[in-house]
C-alpha cells in the first residue's frame, strides 16, 4: 500500500510548477496593486461622474468567473493579432482581476481616515500632498494591509485556473504526474500540501497583524 | 484584424445557455444550503470543549481557506475516486464548492457569534426565556444581521466557482454548455462573451435581491 512510483524528479517537477504559480502571482499582484492604488485613490477623491464609471467597470471583473475572463482575453488577443504568450495573458488578466479588488481595499482604507484628522493636518499647515503621504497613507495602510494580504493569497489560489490557457503551474503539473503514475489521491495531496505551505503562514501573519493593530487603535 | 464577429450563432444558442445558467444556479444554491449547514456545525465544533472536534473543525476550515477551490474540486473528483468513492462531475463539483463554502462561512459565523455580546444571552435568560428560545429569538437575529452581507458575498463566489465544473467534465452548466458550443464551432469569443454577460446578470440579480431583502429585514 505504501509503494509509490512517485519519484524525486516528480516532486522537483511539481516544485517548478509551484515556482510558476508564485511567479504569476507576483506579476499579477504587482500590476494589480499599482493599478488598484491608482484607481482606489481616484475613487476616493473624485466626484461621482468619475467614480461611478470606474466602479462599474471594475465591478464587472468581480462578477464574471475568472475562467471565462481568461478564455475571453485569450481569444481576444488572437482576434486583434497580439503575439502574447499564454504566460503574459495569464498575468495581465490576473492583474486586472487583482486591481478590481485592490481598488476597493484602497478606497475603503482612504475613506477610513476621519475627515477631521485630515482637516487637522491641513490646519497645521500640511499641504495636500503632505497630508496624503504622511497622514492618510499610514492610517489607510493599517486598515488595508490585512485585506491586501488576503487578496494576495486569494490571487495565488486563483492562479490554479491559468492552466486552462496552457500554463503549467502547480495544479497542472500534478495533473501531468497523475496521468502518468495513476495515483491521484497521493499526488493531489502533495499539491495541496504545497499550496497549504505557501498560503497558511502568510494567512496567519495577516491575521496576527490585523489583531495587533486593532488592539493598538 | 481579419476576424469577423458572428454574434448570430451565439444568440441562437441563447436558450441552451440559459438552461445551463439554471444548472449553474442550482449548484450554487445547493452548495450554499449545504455549506451553511456544515458551517454551523463547524462553528459550533470550533467552540466545543472537546479537542477532537476543535481539531477537526480547524482542519476543515484551514484546508478550505488555504488551498484553491479548483484543487478541492479535483480532490472530490479524482482523489476520492482512488479510494473507491466514484463521484460524477455534478456531485464532485457540488462537494468541492460545499467544502469551500463551509470553510469560509464557518469563519463568518464564528465572527457573527462573537459580535453578539454575551450579556444579551444573560439578559434574555433572566427574563425567563429558555436557552433555545433565547438563542432563537435574541442571539440568532442579531447574528444574522452581521453575517448577512458576507453570506451574499459567498453566494456570488459560489456562482463564480461553479464555472470550474467544466474542468472536471460537467457539460450542462453555463460554462459547460458554452464550452460544448465552442468546441463545435470555434466561435470562442462570441460564446464566452455571452456567457460572461449571463454570469454578470446572475451575480447582479443575487446582490440586488439580497439588498432588497436586507432592506426589508433590517429596517428597524
pLDDT exceeds cutoff 70 at A216: no
A142 pLDDT band, cuts 50/70/90, is confident
Complex prediction ipTM: 0.88
Q: Among B167, B175, B200, whose Cβ lies nearest the Cβ of A60?
A: B200
Lowest average pLDDT, out of A197-206, B4-13, B35-44, B116-125, goes to B4-13
The yes-or-no verdict on residue A8 having pLDDT over 60 is yes
d(CA B208, CA B217): 14
What residues of B are in the A interface, CB distance below 8 Å? 1-3, 62-63, 65-71, 74-75, 78-83, 156, 160-164, 166-167, 175, 188-189, 192-193, 195-196, 199-200, 203-204
Please report where in the chains the cell 440559459 appears, as a residue.
B18
Domain range holding B43?
7-218
**Angstroms from B134 CA to nearest CA on chain A:** 30
Q: Is residue B2 part of a domain?
A: no
With contacts defined as CB-CB under 8 Å, which chain A residues touch B203? 63-64
Q: Find the residue in A nearest to B1 (Cα).
A: A80
* Pairwise pLDDT comparison (A215 vs B141), residue with the higher score: B141
Work out the pLDDT band at B3, boundaries 50, 70, 90. confident
In a domain, residue B150? The reply is yes
Residue A60 in contact with partner chain B when CB distance is under 8 A: yes
The answer to whether residue B1 sits within a structural domain is no
Q: Which residues of A touch B78 (CB under 8 A)?
A: 178, 184-185, 188
Distance CA B70, CA B188 (A): 22
**A1–B contact, CB cutoff 8 A:** no
- Report pLDDT digits (tens) over B136-168: 898 888 888 889 999 999 999 999 999 999 988
Question: B161 with B97: CB under 8 angstroms?
Answer: yes
Candidate from A67, A185, A188 with C-beta closest to B164: A67
Other CB atoms within 10 Å distance of the CB of residue A80: 8
Cell numbers found for residue B118:
454575551
Q: Does A1 have pLDDT greater than 70?
A: no
CATH number at residue B178: 1.10.3720.10
Instruction: Report the number of distinct structural domains present in chain B.
Output: 1
B87 in Cβ contact with B95 (< 8 Å): yes
Q: Which of B166, B188, B203 sits opposite A63 (nearest CB)?
A: B203
Percent of chain A with pLDDT over 70: 97
Is B174 a member of any domain?
A: yes
* Helix, coil or strand: residue B49: coil
pLDDT one-digit tens code per residue, B177-199 = 999 888 888 888 889 999 999 99
The predicted pLDDT at position B113 comes to 86
A195 close contact with B: CB closer than 8 A:
yes
At residue B1, the pLDDT reads 61
B13 pLDDT tier (thresholds 50, 70, 90): confident
CA distance B138 to chain A (A): 28
> Residue A69 in contact with residue B196, Cβ under 8 Å?
yes
Residue B108, C-alpha cell as written in the block:
463568518
Provide the CB-side half-sphere exposure for B52 (13 A, CA): 0
- The answer to whether residues A15 and A84 touch, using CB atoms and an 8 Å cutoff, is no
Alpha carbon distance A216, B102 (integer Å): 32
Q: Mutating which of B74, B199, B204 best tests the A interface, going by the most A Cβ atoms within 10 A?
A: B74
CATH of A8-216, one of 1.10.10.60, 1.10.3720.10, 3.20.20.150, 1.10.3660.10: 1.10.3720.10
Amino acid at each position: 500500500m505504501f509503494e509509490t512510483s512517485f519519484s524525486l524528479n516528480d516532486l522537483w517537477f511539481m516544485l517548478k510548477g509551484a515556482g510558476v504559480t508564485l511567479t504569476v502571482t507576483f506579476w499579477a499582484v504587482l500590476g494589480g496593486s499599482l493599478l488598484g492604488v491608482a484607481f482606489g485613490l481616484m475613487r476616493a477623491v473624485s466626484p461621482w461622474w468619475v467614480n461611478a464609471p470606474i466602479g462599474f467597470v471594475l465591478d464587472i471583473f468581480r462578477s464574471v468567473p475568472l475562467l471565462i475572463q481568461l478564455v475571453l482575453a485569450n481569444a481576444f488577443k488572437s482576434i486583434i493579432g497580439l503575439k502574447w504568450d499564454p504566460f503574459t495573458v495569464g498575468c495581465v488578466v490576473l492583474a486586472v482581476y487583482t486591481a478590481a479588488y485592490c481598488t476597493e481595499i484602497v478606497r475603503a482604507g482612504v475613506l477610513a481616515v476621519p475627515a477631521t484628522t485630515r482637516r487637522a493636518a491641513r490646519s497645521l499647515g500640511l499641504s495636500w500632498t503632505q497630508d496624503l503621504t504622511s497622514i492618510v497613507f499610514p492610517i489607510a495602510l493599517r486598515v488595508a494591509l490585512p485585506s491586501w494580504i488576503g487578496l494576495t493569497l486569494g490571487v495565488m489560489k486563483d492562479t490554479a485556473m491559468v492552466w486552462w490557457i496552457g500554463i503549467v503551474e502547480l495544479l497542472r503539473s500534478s495533473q501531468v504526474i497523475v496521468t502518468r503514475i495513476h495515483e491521484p489521491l497521493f499526488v493531489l495531496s502533495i499539491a495541496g500540501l504545497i499550496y497549504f505551505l505557501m498560503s497558511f503562514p502568510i494567512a496567519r501573519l495577516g491575521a496576527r497583524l490585523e489583531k495587533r493593530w486593532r488592539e493598538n487603535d | 484584424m481579419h476576424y469577423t464577429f458572428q454574434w448570430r450563432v451565439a444568440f441562437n444558442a441563447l436558450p441552451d445557455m440559459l438552461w445551463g445558467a439554471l444548472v449553474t444556479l442550482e449548484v450554487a444554491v445547493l452548495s450554499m444550503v449545504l455549506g451553511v449547514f456544515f458551517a454551523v456545525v463547524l462553528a459550533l465544533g470550533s467552540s466545543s470543549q472537546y479537542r477532537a472536534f476543535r481539531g477537526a473543525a480547524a482542519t476543515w476550515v484551514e484546508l478550505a481557506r488555504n488551498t484553491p477551490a479548483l484543487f478541492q474540486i479535483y480532490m472530490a473528483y479524482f482523489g476520492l475516486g482512488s479510494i473507491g468513492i466514484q463521484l460524477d462531475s455534478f456531485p464532485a463539483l457540488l462537494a468541492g464548492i460545499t467544502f469551500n463554502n463551509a470553510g469560509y462561512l464557518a469563519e463568518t459565523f464564528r465572527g457573527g457569534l462573537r459580535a453578539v455580546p454575551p450579556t444579551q444571552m444573560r439578559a434574555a435568560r433572566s427574563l425567563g426565556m429558555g436557552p433555545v428560545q433565547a438563542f432563537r429569538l435574541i442571539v440568532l437575529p442579531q447574528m444574522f444581521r452581521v453575517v448577512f452581507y458576507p453570506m451574499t458575498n459567498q453566494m456570488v463566489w459560489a456562482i463564480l466557482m461553479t464555472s470550474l465544473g467544466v474542468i472536471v467534465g460537467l457539460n450542462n452548466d453555463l460554462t459547460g454548455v458554452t464550452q460544448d458550443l465552442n468546441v463545435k464551432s470555434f466561435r470562442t469569443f462570441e460564446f464566452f462573451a455571452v456567457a460572461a454577460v449571463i454570469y454578470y446578470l446572475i451575480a447582479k440579480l443575487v446582490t440586488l435581491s439580497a439588498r432588497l431583502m436586507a432592506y426589508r429585514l433590517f429596517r428597524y
